[in-house]
Structure 1
Amino acid sequence: MTIDVVTVNGSGCKQGSAEVIVSSDNTSFWVIYSDYLAQAGKGAGATDFRKNCQLTLQINVPQGFTYGIAEATYGGYGYLKPGATGYQSVNYYFQGQSATTTWKHSFTGPFDDNWSITHKTEFSEIVWSPCGEQKNLNVNSALRVDKGSSDANTNSFMTMDYQRGEVRTLHHFSWKRC
């Protein structure tokens, strides 16, 4: 299996700030971001409260197989003042299909810590690529911060970052024969 990045679009992943790496056993892939931050409150711009990144990936699979995303781990850092809320979400879908897998998680202030969320989909609920067709996989993730009732003179933020300012998200495939 190989993965080709077709497009990278969004306020959370400007051109050149996202990289996709396939595991050596072809069961998963990493996405490494270098600039993914949502913030609200003092000093934040009008559109800084929500950041998203849509990756369009061409997954080249062996003939006779189909795949879907079974599990994904996202992580980062959050600094939310009392009364503020942070949100992380992602949805996966194939080009031209209405079926989607969506995961959402919220964080409530006060919060000042690293975070890691693992989303799992039951095998029977996985959205599968169409057999015998080459359809792009779309991965649309988002971070959002709502300042809520927090002090207007403070700033709250969510970022998907690890050491060295990179975001690493791990996606696990499930495979089956067509």
Structure 2
Amino acid sequence: MRFTTFLSVISAGLGTATAAPRNLRVTGVSVLGSGCPYGSADVTIAEGNTALDIRLSEYVVRTGPNTMASDWRKNCKLTLNLEYDAGFQFSTLNTAMTGFAHIPSGVEGQCQNTFDFTGAPSQAKYGITLDGERDGRFSLSADPDLVTWSPCGGSTAIFNMNTQCWISPTEKQALIAVDRISSKLTIRVALQWRNC
């Protein structure tokens, strides 16, 4: 696992959103799940400092002959420790997922990204559908079903993300996996900030 930190974050958001705090740091990352073995994930704050990019290099969901139930569904849970200037809170604005899929006609694939803050009562969910027939690179975006904000009153947040992808059980060969060009499954998480 590796992570990169950028400073001087500026974000233009919607509604009550405001410019981001001057300082933002990722101080720790932990990873757990069948879709992200140790060393196969990295997190960066994207150019412009308005999004997180999560890249998974060994994420493969597949069905077909000689596969098991554990092959049909994968997940990857990341926990990010973030530090930023006091007086702000943030939420996810939208997500975009890029990867490769081979889904035959009549077969359905799904991916869901779920976000929450440790200690907060609610979570935001983003879902995409990968229906057959599909064969090639995909880049799909989603908006949240619910906006949830990090707690006010501090300068840190523990931000949890869980990515789950699955394919409906079938004897047909189907695949959701890393993009063959970049060798990554990438989730970009746009952030918005506001004053507490």
Q: Which runs of 5+ in 2 are unaligned?
A: 1-23
Distance change >3 Å, CA 107–CA 168, structure 1 → 2: closer
Query: Residue type matched to 2:164 in 1?
Result: A
TM-score by length of 1: 0.88
TM-score by length of 2: 0.81
CA contact (8 A) 2:113 2:125 kept: yes
Higher relative contact order (CA 8 A, sep 6+): 1
**Aligned counterparts of 2:74 and 2:58: Cα–Cα separation in 1:** 10
CA contact (8 A) 2:125 2:144 kept: no
Query: Residue type matched to 2:45 in 1?
Result: V
**Aligned counterparts of 1:63 and 1:162: Cα–Cα separation in 2:** 41
Superposed displacement of residue 4, structure 1: 3.0
| 1:141 maps onto 2:163 in alignment | yes
Query: Residue type matched to 1:62 in 2?
Result: D
Give the stretch that moved more between structures: 39-48 or 12-21.
39-48
CA contact (8 A) 2:29 2:81 kept: yes
Q: Which residue in 1 is equivalent to 2:121?
A: 98
**Aligned counterparts of 2:165 and 2:144: Cα–Cα separation in 1:** 21
Superposed, which structure 2 residues align to 1:64-79 within 5 Å? 64-79=87-102
Superposed displacement of residue 5, structure 1: 3.5
| 1:163 maps onto 2:181 in alignment | yes
Superposed displacement of residue 28, structure 1: 1.2
Q: Given the alignment, which residue of 86, 102, 105 partners 1:63? A: 86
Distance change >3 Å, CA 63–CA 101, structure 1 → 2: same
**Aligned counterparts of 2:147 and 2:84: Cα–Cα separation in 1:** 17
Q: Which residue in 1 is equivalent to 2:191?
A: 173
Superposed displacement of residue 126, structure 1: 2.2
**Aligned counterparts of 2:189 and 2:178: Cα–Cα separation in 1:** 15
Query: Residue type matched to 1:141 in 2?
Result: T
Query: Residue type matched to 1:50 in 2?
Result: R
Q: Which residue in 2 is equivalent to 1:12?
A: 35
RMSD of aligned residue pairs (Cα, Å): 1.8
| Number of residue pairs the alignment of both structures matches | 172
Superposed displacement of residue 3, structure 1: 1.5
Query: Residue type matched to 2:32 in 1?
Result: N
Report % sequence identity.
26
Superposed displacement of residue 162, structure 1: 4.9
**Aligned counterparts of 2:186 and 2:194: Cα–Cα separation in 1:** 26
Q: Which residue in 1 is equivalent to 2:7?
A: none
**Residue deviations 1:75-100, cap 9 Å, x none?**
11111122211111111001122211
**Residue deviations 1:59-118, cap 9 Å, x none?**
211111111111111011111122211111111001122211101122222221211111
CA contact (8 A) 1:147 1:156 kept: no
Superposed displacement of residue 164, structure 1: 3.6
Superposed displacement of residue 46, structure 1: 3.0
**Aligned counterparts of 2:113 and 2:65: Cα–Cα separation in 1:** 27
Distance change >3 Å, CA 127–CA 160, structure 1 → 2: farther
Structure 1 segments (4+ residues) deviating >4 Å: none
